[in-house]
Amino acid sequence: MSKPRYVEVTDPQEAELLIYNQAGREFPHVSVAGDGRVWADADELRAWREKREREAQWGGPCAKLRVRCIIVGETGTMYAGENDCANPQPACPRAPGEGYEKCQTICQQAGHAEIEALKVAGDDARNGEAHVYGHYYACEPCARALRDAGVRTIVVHLA
């Protein structure tokens, strides 16, 4: 097995995306130098960029976080939703702390994973459970929509 060859990631949005999502996911090995520069394994970075470009051609996951919500309905049936985008970007267009408007206007995200799961669950969501994967909370609009639909429990599974 050859030793990884690290290259500097010079695009600030791409560097932020890699750092933010590297733990336990499909992202290349990343190292942050003491001066703040970001380095990634060259081969893994190339493969990751090629995958992102392919996904951008046919739609794919959110660049910042891939979130999935499974609603277990009152009948025991499971309904899944993801935050896929019709126009995914190689890096998230949102600035740190910015709202979710660009998710819809630029990435053409139909909705957050919780909302997409609610769409398929319909009335069966009432008295059900929502399980959120890939994030550390359900945002307030999604939590409110789940409560309004009668979901009794929201479980967030931390990675």
127: left (phi over 0), alpha (psi -120 to 50) or beta: left
Q: How far apart are CA 47 and CA 69, in angstroms?
A: 27
Selection from 46, 15, 135 nearest residue 143 by Cα: 135
Instruction: State residue 23's pLDDT score.
Output: 44
- Say which residues have a Cβ less than 8 Å from residue 9's Cβ, sequence separation at least 6: 15, 18, 30, 38, 39, 40, 45
Mean pLDDT of the chain: 82
Would you mind telling me the total number of residues written for the chain in this entry? 159
Burial class (CB in 10 A: 0-12, 13-18, 19+), 153: exposed
> Confidence class of residue 24 from pLDDT cuts 50, 70 and 90?
very low
β-strand partners of 60: 85
- What pLDDT is recorded for position 22? 53
Rounded distance between C-alpha atoms, residue 122 and residue 52, angstroms:
32
Residues 99-146: pLDDT tens digits? 888 988 999 988 899 999 999 899 999 999 999 988 888 999 999 999
pLDDT of 60 > 50? The answer is: yes
Q: Which of 14-28, 31-45, 55-69, 117-131 has the lowest mean pLDDT?
A: 14-28
Question: Average pLDDT, stretch 61-72?
Answer: 86
Per-residue model confidence (pLDDT) at position 81: 87
pLDDT tens digits, 41-51 = 788 777 777 76
